[in-house]
Amino acid sequence: MNKLGTKKLDMQKLLAPAALVILYIFFSIIGNNFLTFDTLKNILESSYYIGFMAFGVTFVIIAGGIDLSIGTVMMASALLGAYTFKQHDWPLVASLILTVGVGTVFGLLNGGLIAKLKLPPFIATLGTMMMAQGAGSIITNVQSQTWPTATEPVGGWFKPVFIRSELFGAKNFPVGAIWLIAFFIIAALILHKTKFGRYNYAIGSNEEAARLSGINTDNWKVGIYTLCGAFCGMAGIFYAAAYTTITPGTGNGQELNAIAGVVIGGTSMSGGAGSMVGTIIGVFIMSVLKNGLSACGLQNHWQTFFTGVVVIGAVLLDIQRTKAANRVKKG
Amino acid sequence: MKKLTALLLALVMTFGMVACGSKTNDTTTTPSTGDTSSTDTTDTGDTGDTSTEDTGSGEKLYIPVMAKGFQHAYWQAVKQGADQAAEELSVEIYFAGPASETNIDEQVNMVKTELAKNPKAMALAALSTDSVTEILAECAEKNIPVIGFDSGVPGDTTGAVKATAATDNEAAAAIAAEKFGENETVVAAMQNATSDAPIVIGCLSQDAVSASVTGRTTGFVNKMAEIAETYQPGKVSIEGHTTWEKKVENPAIIIRVEVSATTEATSLQTSASALLGMEGITAIFCSNEGAVTGFLAATSDGSDLGEGGKYEGLVVAGFDAGSAQKNAVRNGWFIGSVTQDPVQIGYQAVALAVAAANGEEVADVDTGAKWYDATNIDDPDMATLVYD
Amino acid sequence: MSEILLNMHGIQKYFPGVHALDNAQLELHAGEVLALIGENGAGKSTLMKILTGIYTKDDGVIELYGKPTEIQSPSHAQQLGISIVHQELNLMQDLTVAENIFVGRESTKGLFLDKKEQNRKTDELLQSLHLNITARTVVKRLTVAQQQMVEIAKALSYNNTKILIMDEPSASLTTAEIEDLFTFIRRLKATGVGIIYISHRMDELKEITDRVTVMRDGQYVDTVNTAETTVDQIVQMMVGRVIYEEPKSHSNVAPDAPVVLEARNLCSDMVKDVSFQLHKGEILGFAGLMGAGRTETMRLLSGADPKTSGQILVNGKEVHIRRPKDAVKAGIGYLSEDRKRYGLCLGLSVADNTAMASLDSLTVGPFVQDGKVAQVTQEYIQKLRTKTPSGKTLARSLSGGNQQKVVIAKWLLRDCDVLIFDEPTRGIDVGAKSEIYKLMNQLAAEGKSIIMISSELPEVLRMSDRVMVMCEGRLTGELDISEATQERIMTYATMR
């Protein structure tokens, strides 16, 4: 009986990748100019920053928490990076480090509020979400900030390094994809192969049992949220590389895109289960869906609508999957 | 289980088909070819990347018109003009904009997607020039002419932008300052102002980011300062936002620029309330429809400005139109408002794009601005400019 | 013979990959208590779920009050007069008794709740059941036994309940409370209600039930009159073999065995000045009533809760235990009575759970050595004879006894010399129980020291070398196993 059960579960693991491939083929057939290098590049470029946020928040969600601040923290990071670079003439490298640093600090703050001061994650990160949004506006005096474009003499290397450059014979090779995959591998290694990752699952599955096993769960939780913050900082860099101009007061709502990606990838909102592969596939499904629908000439409200349909569908599927699995076990 | 999966996928696909189908009906087409258009539409894009110079034949020209938003009635009027031009010139346009004017990423994605369809020309009102620099460079390289409209694409260095159809925002906003300078209440207040009891003239702007709003703010602030100086030389202070700040000691007239934290109505309402709460507030200029909406929300839909209202006697001028603002003007709550000609902007954008696509030389078009108040708002030639 | 309320026969039920019920049958008379017993997985729950409309049967007949009946849903079952009291308490702790009983079908007056009417009806019901509880009492103020009664009252509050299913109603009750429950059940059966009583406690069956139906592996084994059978016969029917270790008559601990753990004057809110010593190789039983402070004392020793004062000495040296990590470092492993909440990460694999406390020694740099984890997990699966398809199986899908073994493996792998078992066999069926007992004796013989909290006196007497008795947070007595009897323990346990 168990053999039967496992087989079925493995099939379901393939569901998300299969959906991605099917969607891609589907849009290639009916979309306008969908099956082109340009479109592929667009799909990739619009998934970098969501991808990084999603990697970060995957850790948090698997640990049974939630981080609503990722969107605005990403924006605040990118905003402050650009601010120090443009207004205070910092070297670009220093600004980039600051960008990741700001995200990390917000992550640390989240972790402290949740693990040490015992605030519910929803409330704590709702607070930091607003704080990050406000902080960005305060420091920049509500002025939008720009990162250097490829043609600028100072920091012109920013975009070629992070988003696209002439490489492997392609004029606009999506370099960001290499970064994304590299950090995907790092994130996956951390989650699946390290003690940190193992405790991550344990905390999400049963925090009290983990604590009673001698795991200092509070400290690990701080670590988990801090890591998530660092990923948001990196997301800020890639957002900046893709969109150059950062407007204060934005970022609200981006967290939901990332969380949706994680959920589509099969990570359970109740914690203890999920994978990094699922997350990256979930992010790509959303990205393909968005680009594909606009290749069909549908405006963004439609894209948002369909993303919603897919999120609900993915979760329904997940529920079915758990039900089926439980049924097999009980007998 | 499998059934559910299949069902879900089928659902998504059907929705996709239906939606793609419905889109074809939305696109503007000439009545003469209307019956065949639904099949033509998909073809247009496909042939776009194979044929290069063939624009004069039966295939209709496809032009994406990338606006800054959809949320205000203003953009609907622009779309109306664009649709009108599309019909007259027998081209197909795709008019789209992000859900909010701060969603730079959304617009960039949108423009990228359109560019992937290899259009013959594109009209663009960029939320941020820097964000579309790479895209413009690509347009320049592919010889796709870009026509700026509304706020256009200021500071483009790639040469892709061939012309812009826009209002001169600084000049337009200066009209409002001049009207304040002619208003008896404001003039009297300026004359009687002292350093002990300074008066405040407010300017409510939704951001310090977009070129059109900053242009208007600059135009208004500069002109207002110039007029104020004639009454109180050396005692005019500009405060509120660093971009325009020019403070003096012991001012008699303070020109206060209030920039909202976000472009959402609630945030603008908060900023408007802040201005209204200031000691000595005499006049307020709202620099776009968003600012007017926020301002009206802060004044009980404007009724606080009327007879017996909390802010009776406050001199207010607006910018753009929209039914709420028109109502305020008609009731005399606003002394008047400046309007651009959004229909004209949309029309000229498409007209210029078509010309550019056909290889013609194109030049900037000033689409003009007008002052309207309770006396002329319902004149027929004004009525076409002030959209609902 | 009295009226036959229910006759289920030829019941078949298939789940994906499992034949859960194979020709199951059951007959219930009016005014009798029928015990339904079997090891976990024997199909008792599935059969009851079919009877209460949660599952539908794949084949077979249910004759209800003499008529073949299809039970379509839980609410349909209720209409038909079938009610169930679940093993876990399902009451909302912050609501009143009346609100709990009438949840989902509140008395209303127009748009508004009619609390007066509801309370009146509840009081009437409680009185008719001779329960000394009022409708307005908030549930969390009641004892566990009283809450159990409320659950039963709730089940009976549906009009015309003829068949009442009780799923391990005594699992969380102390001896005195169980007596109350039995009195209550006897009164109930006198009114003609038929009761299906599911339990693992053999001693109870003799006392309360009239007949016993035994199931094994989804199949019906036999039904016997309780009076004409013995516990051993029933157990044999269940598992097909004789089990249980013989009770200890004297301590197995050498008189000169060193003290490995000593508690001196431990205090907290619930624990008052508790001191005791634990010797190497000893099984030290902790007896007492519910709420006597036994679990609370152990939570201090394991660092789960902070102590307000007192000292803990391990091997003669004082250790400062502020959090579980400190206790684990000192070699103290705690096995909670509530494995699902405090012992295991159910959603993780057996291997992950086994390695949970010992990852520090199973990593190279930041990376966990999965190969080594799998290897040690396999070793413990064999050593403890854990029944699991593999180390990758989720802990959730193991039976209670095997879950307990995974927790034991976790602490053994961490090299814990002191193991604290809190109700080691709660919710574990008979066959697995004896295995856990054997394992505990084996561990003690190997030199581990064990503290065992148990509310089942036979268990205390069977396993312990020495018995400590607690009451209201204090130690009230200490007995060597050679002098311990149920009566003496109960005397200490109620000594205020």
| Substitution target from C336, C341, C359 for chain A, most A beta carbons within 10 A | C359
State residue B46's pLDDT score: 39
Residue C331 backbone dihedrals phi, psi, to 5 degrees: 90, 25
Taking CB atoms and an 8 Å cutoff, what residues of chain C touch A328? 15-18
For B224, the domain range is 169-340
Strand order in the sheet with C418-422: C332-335, C418-422, C449-453, C283-288, C466-471, C474-480
Structure tokens at C323: 């959090």
**C493 neighbors C476 (Cβ within 8 angstroms):** yes
Distance separating alpha carbons of residues B124 and B122, to the nearest angstrom: 6
Range of the domain at A194: 2-330
B291 found inside a domain: yes
List chains adjacent to chain B, taking adjacency as at least 3 C-beta pairs closer than 8 Å: A
Q: Which residues pair with B283 in a beta bridge?
A: B201, B315
Residues B134 and B221 in one domain: no
* For residue A151, pLDDT beyond 80: no
Whether complex ipTM tops 0.85: no
Beta strands C259-267; C309-314: pairing state: antiparallel
Q: Closest approach of chain B CAs to the CA of A178, in angstroms?
A: 20
Q: Is residue A310 classed exposed, middle or buried when 0-12, 13-18 and 19+ CB atoms within 10 A define those classes?
A: buried
Say yes or no for a CB contact (<8 Å) between C345 and A194. Answer: no
SS3 of A262, please?
A: helix
Q: Which residues contact B305 (CB under 8 A, 6 or more apart)?
A: B299, B311, B312, B314, B316, B328, B333, B334
Q: What is the dihedral of CA C47, C49, C51, C57, to 10 degrees?
A: -70
**CATH code (residue B162):** 3.40.50.2300
**Residue predicted with more confidence, A244 or C314:** C314
| Ramachandran region, residue C316 (left: φ > 0; alpha: ψ -120 to 50; beta: rest) | left
- B24, containing H or E segment: helix B2-26
Residue C302 to residue A272, Cβ atoms within 8 A: no
Angle CA(C324)–CA(C327)–CA(C329) in degrees, nearest 5? 110
Cβ–Cβ < 8 Å for A214, C329: yes
- C445 exposed, middle or buried (CB, 10 Å; 0-12, 13-18, 19+)? exposed
* CA terminus-to-terminus distance, chain A: 9
Pair type for strands C82-85 and C259-267: unpaired
Please list every residue in chain A whose beta carbon sits closer than 8 Å to the beta carbon of residue C422: none
Q: How many helices (H) and strands (E) does chain B have?
A: 13, 13
The per-residue pLDDT for B42 is 37
Question: Which burial class, exposed, middle or buried, applies to A245 when counting CB atoms under 10 A from its CB (0-12, 13-18, 19+)?
Answer: buried
Q: Are A278 and A267 in contact (CB under 8 A)?
A: yes
Task: Specify the DSSP class assigned to residue A148.
Answer: P
Q: Which domains does chain C have, with CATH numbers?
A: 4-239 (3.40.50.300), 259-493 (3.40.50.300)
Same domain for B185 and B330, yes or no, is yes
SS3 content of chain C, % helix, strand, coil (to 5): 35, 25, 35
Whole-number pLDDT of residue B27 = 43
Residues in chain B predicted with pLDDT less than 50, given as ranges, are 1, 17-57
Confidence of residue A226 (pLDDT cuts 50, 70, 90): very high
**pLDDT tens digits for B280-294?**
899 999 998 889 988
d(CA A224, CA A58): 10
pLDDT tens readout for residues A37-67: 888 888 888 899 999 999 999 999 999 999 9
Q: Check: CB of residue C283 under 8 Å from CB of residue C444.
A: yes
Q: Are residues B241 and B200 in the same domain?
A: yes
- Asked if A30 lies within 8 A of B8 by C-beta distance, the reply is no
A88-92 own/partner pairs: CB under 8 Å, 24+ apart: A92/A148, A92/A154, A92/A155, A92/A157, A92/A158
Other C-beta atoms closer than 10 Å to the C-beta of C318 total 11
**Kind of pairing between the strands at C363-364 and C367-368:** antiparallel
Nearest to A213 among C363, C393, C410 (CB): C410
Q: Is C315 helix (H, G, I), strand (E, B) or coil?
A: coil
User: A40 in contact with B at a CB cutoff of 8 Å?
Assistant: no
Where are any strands of DSSP class E within chain B? 62-66, 92-96, 122-124, 146-149, 161-166, 199-205, 236-239, 253-259, 281-286, 315-319, 336-340, 365-366, 369-372
Which sign, positive or negative, has the C-alpha torsion A221, C326, C322, C305?
Answer: positive
Q: Mark whether B84 and B71 lie in a shared domain.
A: yes
Rounded-to-integer distance, Cα A110 and Cα C129, Å: 53
CA distance between the termini of chain C = 48
Pick the last residue of a domain from B340, B356, B379. B340
At A90, the pLDDT band (50, 70, 90 cuts) reads very high
Instruction: Look at residues C270, C232, C292 and name the one whose alpha carbon lies nearest to residue C495.
Output: C292
Residue to test with chain A: of C345, C397, C406, most A Cβ within 10 A: C345
Residues B125 and B232 in one domain: no
Residues A235/A53, Cβ–Cβ less than 8 Å: yes
pTM over 0.80: no
Instruction: Show the CA angle centred on residue B139, arms to residues B138 and B143, nearest 5°.
Output: 120
Torsional sign, CA C400, C404, C409, C410: positive
User: Do B195 and B163 share a domain, yes or no?
Assistant: no
The predicted pLDDT at position A5 comes to 42
What distance in Å separates the CA atoms of residue C22 and residue B20, rounded to the nearest whole number? 54
Tell me: do B143 and B177 sit in the same domain. no
Taking contacts as CB-CB distances below 8 angstroms, the residues of chain A near C368 are 193-195, 197-198
More confident residue, A240 or C74: A240
> Mind listing the pLDDT tens digit of every residue in chain C (496 residues)?
578 889 998 898 887 656 778 888 899 998 899 999 887 667 888 888 888 888 888 888 899 888 888 888 888 888 888 888 877 777 888 888 888 888 777 777 777 777 888 888 888 888 877 778 888 888 888 877 788 888 888 887 876 788 989 888 777 677 777 787 888 888 888 888 899 998 877 778 888 899 999 888 788 888 888 888 887 788 778 766 545 556 777 788 887 889 999 999 999 988 999 999 999 999 999 998 777 889 999 999 999 999 999 999 999 999 999 999 999 999 999 998 888 888 899 889 999 999 999 998 898 888 999 999 999 999 999 988 888 888 888 888 887 788 889 999 999 999 899 999 998 887 777 677 888 888 899 999 999 999 999 887 888 888 999 999 998 889 999 999 888 888 888 888 877 6
Give the closest of B45, B102, B115 to A249, CB-based. B102
Answer yes or no: is pLDDT of A284 > 90: yes
The answer, for B9 touching chain A at a CB cutoff of 8 Å, is yes
The answer to whether residues B162 and B174 belong to one domain is no
Q: Kindly report the nearest CA distance between residue B230 and chain A, in angstroms.
A: 31
Same domain, yes or no: B267 and B212: yes
Q: In this structure, what DSSP letter does residue C341 have?
A: I
| Pair C24, C215: CB distance under 8 Å | yes
Q: Does B11 touch chain A (CB under 8 A)?
A: yes
B347 to each of B77, B89, B157, C399, how far by Cα in Å?
Answer: 10, 10, 25, 74
C-alpha to C-alpha distance for C469 and A208, rounded to whole angstroms: 28
What are C247's two structure tokens? Answer: 């009770």
Residue B126 in domain: yes
**Cβ within 8 Å of B, A 246-305:** 246-250, 290-302
Contact B109 A39 (CB under 8 A): no
Residue B51 burial (CB count, 10 A): 11
Q: Helix axis angle, A276-295 relative to A254-264, nearest 10°?
A: 110
Mean pLDDT of chain A: 87
- CA–CA gap between residue C60 and residue B281 (Å, rounded): 86
Name the domain count of chain B.
2
| pLDDT confidence bin for A1, thresholds 50/70/90 | very low
Euclidean distance between CA atoms C51 and C55, whole angstroms:
8
**Residue A316, domain CATH:** 1.10.3470
CA distance A224 to B205: 41
Whether B102 and B157 share a structural domain:
yes
Assess A33–C contact: CB distance below 8 Å, yes or no: no
- The answer on B265 and B331 residing in a single domain is yes
Q: How many domains does chain A have?
A: 1
